[in-house]
Amino acid sequence: MNKSAMKLASLGIQHVLAMYAGAVIVPLIVGGAMGMKGSDLTYLVSVDILMCGLATLLQLWQNRFFGIGLPVVLGCTFTAVGPMIAIGGEHGISAVYGAVIASGLFIVLIGGFFGRLVKFFPPVVTGSVVTIIGITLIPVAMNNLAGGQGSKDFGSYENIVLGFGTLLLIIIIFKFFSGFIRAISILIGLACGTLAAAAMGKVSFGAVREASWFHMVEPFHFAAPSFELTPILTMCLVAMVSLVESSGTYFALGDITNTEISKAQLSKGFRAEGLASIIGGIFNAFPYTTFSQNVGLIQMSGIKTKKVIYVTAAMLVFMGLVPKIGALTTIIPSSVLGGAMVAMFGMVIASGIKMLSRIEFANQENLLIIACSVGMGLGVTVVPNMFSHINPSLKILTDSGIVLGSLTAIILNIIFNILPGKQKRLMSSGLTGQKAS
């Protein structure tokens, strides 16, 4: 292998490492919540890694219909984790994949004119939605940290030590390291936590021994999709929030690579994400979106060529075809995974708060939008039976705290910030010509 090829390979591995923990933790969490174990969980991790590679190729391959053509890596969005767990628990795994496919098709259809819909998703809406999703994920993290809901050693001293030890190690890495080491802090925490658990006799390598060296993925491996309105509505809302986040990533990459991002390119980028979600649903994987950690790696390394990302995509596809690699991740104990989840899901909440920081807090109406949407979303999540006697046709909107909170934010944003009459209200309050407080 010549020096140029070795350099490409090393840069590709670096991108894989930067996104690997984020890529595999999603199937581990969702699969664990759906009761998957052993070979099923190994398959789910493997097909997810493979689909990350295929989704990345869809974005790199720029053509008339899809592909933004920037050096971007795709993976499953954390925003979808909470909704997928909720859908799986309420409607079953088939409804999860039906919703993923339908939301992907929805994004393909609206990709050409999504820019016109952006006004319905300003930071006050997207920030509220992401905050709600992050909050609903924290109980999942804490249950895992204690050993997994229903486990015989739930809340044991060993589980608590492993979980909080993993979290502490991640915090220490963030404190004393920077650059690439910090970027893979979750991966290091999971690896060290698993080694510590192995020393305590809490790790079984049976799944790795039983996994084959090669397999071919197949469509509808776990279940054929079923299409139900509430799950579809939930995943479409999640997909639109994801597109708003992706837009920021595209423009950040445009600045880094000195590329002007046109509306046509944005549309092709959106369609690629929609296609990736459709394919992900067909192969019983996940919806896919741009991974911002890889954008940071590009900025840090200064290597902006798409060749490196093509190598990364090829590596992901190869790894997805080797179940033994996927099986290695399934041996991570629940408590270790839970410790990392606290940090990762907390970051989801922090991302929502960061989005909300862009709004004008002196505007009391924006504060009311946040208060009502987060309150409704969290309220329905904590008290799921509060609408048990409502008309079944309306329960479509109230079954999910994420759906109800998101719709509350969208509707209140339309009322306060889009419909005419705001200027009139300011005049009647004597606030014209000065900032409303």
359-410 pLDDT per residue, tens:
877 778 889 999 999 898 888 877 877 777 776 656 656 666 777 888 888 8
Per-residue confidence (pLDDT) for residue 10, from 0 to 100: 73
Q: How far apart are CA 96 and CA 351, in angstroms?
A: 25
Per-residue confidence (pLDDT) for residue 271, from 0 to 100: 92
Least confident of 4-13, 28-37, 416-425: 416-425
3-30 pLDDT per residue, tens:
677 777 777 776 776 677 777 878 888 8
Pick from 170, 192, 194: nearest CA to 183: 170
Per-residue confidence (pLDDT) for residue 38, from 0 to 100: 77
Q: Stretch 304-325: mean pLDDT, rounded?
A: 86
Residue 129 CB contacts under 8 Å (≥ 6 apart), including other chains: 237, 241, 352, 373, 402, 405, 406, 409
Residue 291 CB contacts under 8 Å (≥ 6 apart), including other chains: 18, 19, 22, 23, 72, 73, 74, 75
275-304 pLDDT per residue, tens:
999 999 999 888 988 876 666 667 655 677
Contact between 337 and 25 under an 8 Å Cβ cutoff? The reply is yes
Point out which residues pair with 288 in neighbouring strands: 76
